[in-house]
Amino acid sequence: MREQLSFLSSYSDGMGIHLHPDALRRFEIYLKELKAWNQKFNLTSIKEDKGIVVKLFLDSLTPFNLIKTGSMLLDIGSGAGFPGIPLHIADPSLHVTLLDSVNKKVTFMNHIIAELSLTGIEVIHRRAEEFAKTKKGAYDVVISRAVTNLSDFIKLGEPFLKPDGILIAMKGSRADEEIRDAAKVLERKKMQVKDIIRFCLPFDYGKRGIVVLSRSL
C-alpha cells in the first residue's frame, strides 16, 4: 500500500500537483476504507491497491489543473466519491457537492468524508434532474467521470453552470466519437468544446480523454 501511495505522490508531482503529507494520509485511509466497504457493498469492480490508486485516485486528479482554486464544483454520479473527493483532498479550497442517487454509495461517501475530517464538501442523495431545480446556475465546474454518454452529461450538467462555468467530462478512448455524437445537443444547449486532453494512464491502464466544454460565445 505504501509503495502505491508513494507512486501516487511522485506521479502527481509530475502533473504539477503537490500532495502534502496530510493529503497522502487521507488517501491511505480512503484506500483502506474503500477496500473494506467494497467487500460488503460492491462499490467498485477494482479490487487491488495498484488499480485503485491508478484507475481511481490518480485518474480523478487528472483534471486538477483545469479547476480554479476555490471553485464551486458539482460531481454528478460520484459513486464512491470519484473524482470529487480526490480533487478536494488535493485542493481543500474547492467547495464540492457530490451527487448520486444510489443509497449505498451516498452512505459510503458520508462515511469517508467523516473519516477523513473533510470540510467544504457535501453529499446529496438525489437525481440530477431534481437537484437542478434548486441549484440552477450555481456552479463554476460540473464534472462527471465515466457515468453517461457526453450528450446526456451535457443535458444534465448545463443547467447547473454559472454563465462562465465549464463542464468537464472524463472519458475513455471514445471521446472523439462521443463529441461527434453530441453535435446536435451542443448546438441546442449553446455549448462548445473548449479543449480535449488525451493521455494514457500508467501501467497500461488505458487511454483517457478529458473533454472541456463552455458556453458558446
Q: How far is it, in rounded angstroms, from Cα 65 to Cα 87?
A: 10
Pick from 114, 80, 78, 73: which is nearest to 99 by CA?
78
- Which residues, 6+ apart, have CB-to-CB distance to 126 below 8 Å? 99, 101
Question: Residue 85: what pLDDT?
Answer: 98
Question: Residue 146: what pLDDT?
Answer: 80
Domains of the chain plus CATH, in order, are 63-215 (3.40.50.150)
Q: How far is it, in rounded angstroms, from Cα 127 to Cα 169?
A: 18
Q: Which letter does DSSP use for residue 208 in this model?
A: E
The helix (H) or strand (E) run that includes residue 193 is strand 191-200
Kindly report the pTM of this predicted structure. Answer: 0.96
Question: Residue 147: what pLDDT?
Answer: 86
Mean pLDDT per 10-residue segment, the chain (217 residues): 89 95 97 96 93 96 98 97 98 98 97 98 97 96 94 97 97 94 96 96 94 92
